[in-house]
Structure 1
Amino acid sequence: MLYVKNLEKSYYIGKTEYPVLKGVNLHVAQGEFVAVMGPSGSGKTTLLNCISCYIPYDRGVITLGGQKLGNMDETSLAKIRNEKLGFVFQDFMLLDGLTIRENILIPRIIKGTVDKDGENLADQLIQLFGIEHIQNKFPAEVSGGERQRTAVARSLMNNPLLLLADEPTGNLDSKSSRNVIESFEDARTQLGATIFMVTHDAFSASFCDRVILLKDGHIYKQLENHSERSIFHSQLLDALKEMSSDD
């Protein structure tokens, strides 16, 4: 589904180069729920921004569903982002002047396909994520967890190949965080969604199939979840402690 090969990205301040991604290689299979973790400055957000084509990368190849990304004009990139990628952000990115239901329909509005099928999919997502009771309310009238579940529903309106989540539980309490992660699980099991999540939260990452640890622009280690969530959570905490002390 997603392949990243020998990805490199540097930033420049004046003539000084600051390498951020240093030959990253990874893949995400269809239907997988994968997290990326690492300390601040490890390259997590840069990696996500390269995959979403919001920033250009220096070298390497990114392939999504068999199509190479990068070196596209803005029209082609916009089409990729709207039709093949879904996005969930830490700060929700909902439009305050639209209802919850209208926010969910935004990708179809942009695409110009708010037809019966689109309305039916919105109904399905609203029911799946348990937000029927707030669908006619505005974002300011609902909780942070409900806003994030709305954002997850919106991200799935165009049946994307890949859902990208950037610290989706960063602004939420523990109960709301769990509800949002369970929304991702529901999206995967019931809709076949493929999810790639950047997070600093080991609890949220413990629900994933696989966790990639990123350090100093390199992949430090990958952990696969073959056990109970609580056991995998402990394994993640141990690996994170090992990574922080391995300097």
Structure 2
Amino acid sequence: MLSVKNLEKSYTTGNRTYTVLKGISFSVAKGEFVAVMGPSGSGKSTLLNCISCYIPFEKGRITLGGQELSSLTPEQLASVRNEKLGFVFQDFMLLDGLSVRENILVPRIIRQNVDKEGERYADQLMELFGISHIRNKYPAEISGGERQRTAVARSLINHPLMLLADEPTGNLDSTSSRIVIESFENARQNLDATIFMVTHDSFSASFCDRVILLKDGNIYRQLEKNIQTRSAFHDTLLNAIKEMSGDM
């Protein structure tokens, strides 16, 4: 589904050039739930922005669904972002003047494709994520967890190849965080969604199939859950984070 090969990205400030990503390579299979973790400055956000086509990169290849992104025009990249990628942000990014149902349909509105099938799918997503009862409410009238579940539903309305989630539980309490992560699991199990999530939260990451640890622009280690329970995988993840931080 997603292939990243030898990805390099640098920033120039004055006369100095800082290399943020140093030859990153990994892949994400269809239906997989993968998290990226790492300390501040490790390259997590830069990596996500490269994959989402918001910033260019100097070297390497990013391939999504068999299509190499670096060869696309700005118009084609905009189409990829709207049709092949779904986005979930830390700050929800809902439109205050639209209801929950209307917010979910926004990507269809952009495509001018709000038909009966789209409306039925929006209703199906609201049912799946337990927000049907707030369908006519506005963002200011619902909780943070409900806003984020609305954002997850919106990210899926165009049947994207992949969801990109940027710190999706960063503004939520522990209860709401778990509900949102369970929404991702529901999307994967019921809709065969592929999810790539940047997070600082080891608890949220422990629900994933695999966690990529970044340090200083390199992949420090990849951890796979395999047959471990979520709790055991969380312990494994915490130990690896301590090791990466030099605490062990």
TM-score normalised by L of structure 1: 0.99
Does 1:244 pair with 2:239? no
Q: 1:183 is paired with a residue of what secondary structure?
A: helix
Q: 2:245 is paired with a residue of what secondary structure?
A: helix
Q: Which residue of 2 aligns with 1:141?
A: 141
Does 1:36 pair with 2:36? yes
Counterpart CA distance in 1 for 2:126 and 2:15 is 50
Q: Which residue of 1 aligns with 2:225?
A: 225
Residue 72 of structure 1, CA deviation: 2.5
Counterpart CA distance in 1 for 2:67 and 2:46 is 21
Residue 197 of structure 1, CA deviation: 0.2
Does 1:70 pair with 2:75? no
Q: Which residue of 2 aligns with 1:206?
A: 206
Does 1:53 pair with 2:61? no
For 1:53-105, what per-residue CA distance to the aligned partner results, in whole angstroms no more than 9, with x for missing partners? Answer: 00000100000000000242221111000000000000000000000000000
| Long gaps (5+) in structure 1 | none
Counterpart CA distance in 2 for 1:240 and 1:230 is 15
For 1:201-221, what per-residue CA distance to the aligned partner results, in whole angstroms no more than 9, with x for missing partners? Answer: 000000000000000000000
Task: Identify which range, 68-77 or 219-228, moves more after superposition.
Answer: 68-77
Counterpart CA distance in 2 for 1:16 and 1:75 is 32
Residue 28 of structure 1, CA deviation: 0.2
Paired AA for residue 208 in structure 2: C
Counterpart CA distance in 2 for 1:35 and 1:95 is 27
Counterpart CA distance in 2 for 1:102 and 1:203 is 31
Q: Which residue of 1 aligns with 2:89?
A: 89
Paired AA for residue 195 in structure 2: I
Q: 1:87 is paired with a residue of what secondary structure?
A: strand
Counterpart CA distance in 1 for 2:141 and 2:70 is 39
Q: Which residue of 2 aligns with 1:162?
A: 162
Give percent identity, aligned residues only.
74
| Long gaps (5+) in structure 2 | none
Paired AA for residue 240 in structure 1: I
Counterpart CA distance in 1 for 2:224 and 2:175 is 25
Residue 246 of structure 1, CA deviation: 7.1
Q: 2:221 is paired with a residue of what secondary structure?
A: strand
Counterpart CA distance in 1 for 2:142 and 2:74 is 35
Counterpart CA distance in 2 for 1:106 and 1:15 is 43
Residue 15 of structure 1, CA deviation: 1.9
Q: 2:232 is paired with a residue of what secondary structure?
A: helix
RMSD: 1.0
Q: How many residues align?
A: 247
Paired AA for residue 8 in structure 2: E
